A and B are shown apart, each in its own frame.
Chain A
Amino acid sequence: MKLLEVRNLKKSYKSKEVLNGISFDMDKTETVVVIGPSGTGKSTMLKCINRLVEPDDGQILLNGMDVMKARKIEKIRQRIGMVFQDFNLFNHLTVLDNVRIGPLKVKKLQKNVATELAMENLKKVGLTSEAKSYPSQLSGGQKQRVGIARALAMNPDLILFDEPTSALDPELIAEVLEVMRKLALDGMTMLIVTHEMGFVREIADRVIFMEKGEIVESGTPEKIFNAPEKERTHQFLAQFTKFGREK
C-alpha cells in the first residue's frame, strides 16, 4: 500500500482554477520534491493534503485512510507534519513549549514524556541549548529548525515542507537543508516544495514539475534535470542555470 495517494485533486478560488486535477502517490521513506514557477498551486496542493485548504474535488488516501471523508480531520493532521515558509512558531511560547505543545495538548501525553520527546527532537535539529528562548530571540534558520522539531515531535507518517528556506537569508539556508538531509537519510517521508535546485538534485527520490495547476512531468532528478521530456520543464530549469542559482 502506498503511504499517500492523491487522485484528481481540484481546487479553484472563485473562477480561478488553482489545481486542475493533480494525481500522484508516495511510498514510505520516499522524498518527493515539487518544483515549478510561482503561483502554480504548489503551496495550495500541500495544504489540501491535510485540508488546511479544503479541496473542491478529488481523493486523498493516507495509509489507505480517506482524508476527504475523515470525520475527525484532526486525527489525520496529527499524522501529517507541516513546515511553513514563514515558520509560524507560537510567539508566546518558548522553543521547548513550541515543540512540546503538540504531544502534550493534542496527543495528551504526560508532561515528562512530552518534555523528553520535545528535547529529543530539539537535539535532532541541534537546538537543545535554545530550549528556553523565545522565537523572537532566534535567527531565521533556528526558527525553521524549531518548526521542523515541532512537526517531528508528533511522530508523523509524512512531513510537508512548504518552501522551508524561501524566507531565509542565503547564509542561513544551509543549516535548514542540513537538517532535512539528515531526516531523509533517517527514512522520514517528505513532500517538499522548494526552489533550491541543487538540494533537489541531491535529496529527491522523485521530482514533480508542476505548472498552472497541473503536473507537467515527474521522474528521478537525473531524468528531470538532465533529460526532461517536456519542453516546458527544460525552459523552467534553464532559468536556474542561467542565473547561476544551481550549484
Chain B
Amino acid sequence: MEFFLSSMSTILKGSEVTVNLTVASLFFGAIIAVFVALAQVYGKWWLNFIATVYERILRSIPILIIMFMIFFGFPSFGIRFDPFVAAVISLALRSSAYQSQIFRGALLSVSKGQIMAARSLGMTGAQTFFHISFPQAVRFSIAPMTNEFTIVLKDTSIAYALGVTELLREGTYIVSTSYEPLLIYSMCAAVYFVMTFGTNKFVSLMEKEFAIPGYEVRGLERG
C-alpha cells in the first residue's frame, strides 16, 4: 500500500508536467491556428496556398519525427531547445494544423448574411471579424475541439522520447526500480483516463455555457 501511494505521488508529479505540456501546446497551437484559418478563409491566393501547404504537411508527419527534427535537427543551425520546449513546439505546430481546420470550418459556418449586415452598419473588416465572426466561430469550435484536447493530452507521452519527465517517464522510473510494470503502467493509464474524461466533461460544460441560444445541438445546421 505504501508502495502504491508513493508511486502514485511520483506519477502525479509527472502528470503535472503532462498537464503543462498539454495546456502550453494547445494554447500556442490555437494562436497559430487562428492565423492559418484566417489565411485560408480570407487570405489572398498565395497566403491561402502557404497556409494550406503548412497545414497539409504538419498533418501528414508523425509527431515523433517533428519532435526529433526540432530537438535533434535544430542544434545543427545552432538552435538548441530544452526537451520540454522542443516538445511544446512540436505538439503546438502539429495541433495548430488540426485546430486550424476546426476553426476554419467554424468561421465558414458564420452566415454570409451576418457579415453583410455588419458591413452595412459601417463596420470595417476587422470590426466585423472581432465582433461578429470570431465570437461565433470560437463557440462553434468548442465541441469539435474535445477530440483535439484528448489527442494532444495523450500525445504528450511521446515527449518521453526527448527525455521530458512527464507522466510516462516518471512511471518508467518506478518500473525500473520496482519491477512492477503492469501495476505502474496501469496506474499511468488510469491517470490519463481520468484527465481525458475530466477534460471532456469540462469541455462539454463549457460548450453548454457558451452556446448561442438556438444553436446548442452538436452538428446542427447553422443558418
Interface residues of A (CB under 8 A from B): 50, 52, 74-78, 80-82, 84, 86-92, 101-102, 105-106, 134-137, 147, 150-151, 154
Main secondary structure of the interface of B (DSSP, over half): helix
Query: 26 A-B Cβ contacts within 8 A?
Result: A50-B120, A74-B123, A74-B124, A76-B122, A78-B121, A81-B120, A82-B120, A84-B116, A84-B117, A86-B113, A87-B113, A88-B111, A89-B114, A89-B117, A90-B114, A90-B132, A91-B136, A91-B214, A91-B215, A105-B123, A105-B131, A106-B121, A134-B213, A135-B214, A136-B215, A147-B117
Residues in A with CB closer than 8 Å to B111 are: 88
User: A82-B117, A137-B214, A150-B117 are known contacts; what are 5 more A-B pairs with Cβ within 8 Å?
Assistant: A80-B120, A89-B114, A135-B214, A136-B214, A137-B213
> Measured between alpha carbons, how far is A86 from B120 in the docked complex, in Å?
14
Write the nearest CB–CB distance from B107 to chain A, whole angstroms: 13
Q: Which residues from 95 to 148 on chain B have a C-beta closer than 8 Å to any C-beta of chain A?
A: 111, 113-114, 116-124, 127, 131-132, 135-136, 139
How many A-B residue contacts, CB cutoff 8 Å?
Answer: 72
Residues in B with CB closer than 8 Å to A88 are: 111, 113-114, 116-117
Closest chain B residue to A107, Cβ basis = B122
Closest chain A residue to B130, Cβ basis = A105
> Measured between alpha carbons, how far is A89 from B116 in the docked complex, in Å?
10
Say yes or no for B161: interface residue by CB 8 A criterion: no
Q: Are A90 and B118 in contact (CB under 8 A)?
A: yes
Write the nearest CB–CB distance from A208 to chain B, whole angstroms: 21
> Measured between alpha carbons, how far is A87 from B113 in the docked complex, in Å?
8
Residues in B with CB closer than 8 Å to A87 are: 113
> Measured between alpha carbons, how far is A82 from B122 in the docked complex, in Å?
11
Write the nearest CB–CB distance from A204 to chain B, whole angstroms: 23
> Measured between alpha carbons, how far is A150 from B121 in the docked complex, in Å?
9
Q: Are B123 and A106 in contact (CB under 8 A)?
A: yes
Interface size bracket, B side: 20 to 34
Interface string of B176-193 (1 = CB under 8 A from A): 000000000000000000
Say yes or no for B212: interface residue by CB 8 A criterion: yes
Write the nearest CB–CB distance from B219 to chain A, whole angstroms: 16
Q: Are B121 and A154 in contact (CB under 8 A)?
A: yes
Name B122's contact: one of A74, A86, A89, A147 (CB within 8 Å). Answer: A74
Q: Are B122 and A78 in contact (CB under 8 A)?
A: yes
Residues in A with CB closer than 8 Å to B135 are: 92
Name A52's contact: one of B114, B120, B132, B213 (CB within 8 Å). Answer: B120
Write the nearest CB–CB distance from B135 to chain A, whole angstroms: 5
The 8 closest A-B pairs by CB, nearest first: A136-B214, A78-B122, A88-B113, A134-B213, A88-B117, A82-B120, A77-B122, A102-B121
> Measured between alpha carbons, how far is A170 from B132 in the docked complex, in Å?
31
> Measured between alpha carbons, how far is A84 from B136 in the docked complex, in Å?
20
Residues in A with CB closer than 8 Å to B116 are: 52, 84, 88
Residues in B with CB closer than 8 Å to A92 are: 135-136, 139, 212
Q: Are A77 and B121 in contact (CB under 8 A)?
A: yes
Closest chain A residue to B120, Cβ basis = A82
> Measured between alpha carbons, how far is A91 from B139 in the docked complex, in Å?
12
Closest chain B residue to A75, Cβ basis = B122
Instruction: Indicate whether A105 sits within 8 Å of B213 (C-beta atoms), given known contacts A78-B121, A78-B122, A82-B120.
Output: no
Q: Are A84 and B113 in contact (CB under 8 A)?
A: yes
Closest chain A residue to B118, Cβ basis = A90
> Measured between alpha carbons, how far is A89 from B212 in the docked complex, in Å?
13
Residues in A with CB closer than 8 Å to B118 are: 90
